Structure 1
């Protein structure tokens, strides 16, 4: 999405800027005290930094909060479509933070953003990692073969972003997709996701990420991850069931699990206060 076309009321538009750090042109929210510990927030596939709009105010009084749009999504322009997988994104986000002089002390990731956060532990010293409905599972059976293959085929198809954007870029479809995650959102939240889905470049970037996504290497390294990890699950998440986080915690030596009842995959948008109630005491004990 061209940042010049963002709605005037787009969350944290005034606190965001473009940063050119090879190979991408990043759109980054940067708010909170400059001398405070840096907290990096990473959104999931198909979202943007706007998804943390309700959580940021609860964090930025004690942290410098850095929230990039992932490459190819939101307002971050990918420098080519070959660096949209897990390892490449973790490397490029790390390079962004170090180049901008804001090396994070902790990373909070939602969904696929949590996997990127965990991968970053191999690249930069971190005091803590938190995942919100972390996408650390794999598809079962035939879906495990077909979904990645379909994503790769779609990502390689010319103009597919424009086609999908036209087909899905209407309120009814977007609202149905959100409801399918267990998080229907309010009218403002629905409108923000509608703006993203209507942007062909954002759709293409999301498909590219899905096509290149591989978790096997990360999952094999989890038993040796010494960084403290908190995984938060939501009992009504129909996109990434809480069992995924509970199982992942069992494979990490320094990880704990917490569950929030009554909300879906986008719990940080629906009930940011409840998420902060879990996050902040845990972060304060480690940073």
Structure 2
């Protein structure tokens, strides 16, 4: 990533000028958080909220947002501590804490969304938000939703806590990101082809100590037991979209969740990887639009898409 050779926290005055969809960006302060948000579309159209996953930012929806904005008022934001959003405490890094923070932001903005889509851990946050009685859209879309502990979590989560508590860890990991190779690393880890612009943004994020610390904190405090326990009583329509070639979150996670939730559908793509919404924004936008503007009930618990 030319011109970006040392680890440093993201700064909007320096990094915002070429950030994807920067003309749609603004900053909003709530009680404990200074949020970076992006908004597109007709302000009178039905609203849809987009929530990214761990270690990502609004850039993850750089191509999906403009497509959805043709029919929706689209709102996306950087999660607490991620990207350009600043957070003051670690409570906002837990699933419940993030759910409360997002509900507070949407109430502050006076937005009651028709639908919401979350990628990976972002889907878990949206489901937890509905379970806790926060702002609850009628439809929740999970994009390769991370709804179960990762394999080896008994070892990984304590390790994440140790790394999170070590003040040198974010600095070292951010420094490592400046050495290059982000493009190849992303392809190996996610199985997705997302283009040079996406890789450039991830390289900047991974080189930010504050962003890395937030991502580690999110992993260290990630408890999905309450979400799983309350999944059968979820009273929202849940549409889980998964890629069979996702190496990070197996598609079977979405299939199992769809079988347990009250009103859920699992739609599986053969390819696309973990960053399916970045690799195939047209297909995901079309699917969301069709589901949102159709009154038909889910046809099945599990179906496949090309």
The match for 1:126 is 137
- Where does the alignment leave 5 or more consecutive residues of structure 1 unmatched? none
Q: Distance in 2 between matches of 1:99 and 1:174?
A: 37
Q: Tell me the CA shift for residue 171 of structure 1.
A: 2.5
Aligned counterparts, 1:1-287, within 5 A: 1-122=10-131, 123-140=134-151, 143-173=152-182, 175-285=184-294
Consecutive unaligned residues of structure 2, counting only runs of 5 or more, are: 1-9, 297-306
Please, what TM-score do these two structures have when normalized by structure 2? Answer: 0.89
Q: What secondary structure, in the 3-state scheme, does the structure 2 residue paired with 1:250 have?
A: helix
Aligned length: 285
C-alpha separation in 1, matches of 2:189 and 2:137: 34
Q: Deviations over 1:76-99 (max 9, x none)?
A: 001222321100000000100101
Structure 1 residue 121 displacement after superposition: 1.1
Shift in alpha-carbon separation, 1:225–1:159, aligned structure 2, 3 A: same
Aligned partner of residue 181 in structure 2, secondary structure? helix
Shift of 1:220: 0.6
Tell me the TM-score normalised to structure 1 length: 0.95
* Mapped contact 1:25–1:79 kept (Cα < 8 A): no
CA apart distance, 1:161: 1.1
Q: Provide the C-alpha distance between the structure 2 equivalents of 1:121 and 1:232, rounded to a whole number of angstroms.
A: 19
Q: Would the aligned equivalents of 2:186 and 2:192 in 1 still touch at CA under 8 Å? A: no
**Contact 2:59/2:198 (8 A) holds in 1:** no
Could you tell me how far apart the structure 2 residues matched to 1:145 and 1:201 are?
26
What is the rounded CA distance, in whole Å, between the counterparts of 1:283 and 1:225 in structure 2?
A: 18
Alpha-carbon offset, residue 189 of structure 1: 1.4
Deviation at 1:184, TM superposition (A): 3.8
TM superposition outliers: structure 1 runs of 4+ over 4 Å: none
Q: Is the 8 A contact 1:260 1:274 kept in 2?
A: no
Please report how far the alpha carbon of residue 274 of structure 1 lies from its aligned counterpart in structure 2 after TM superposition: 1.3
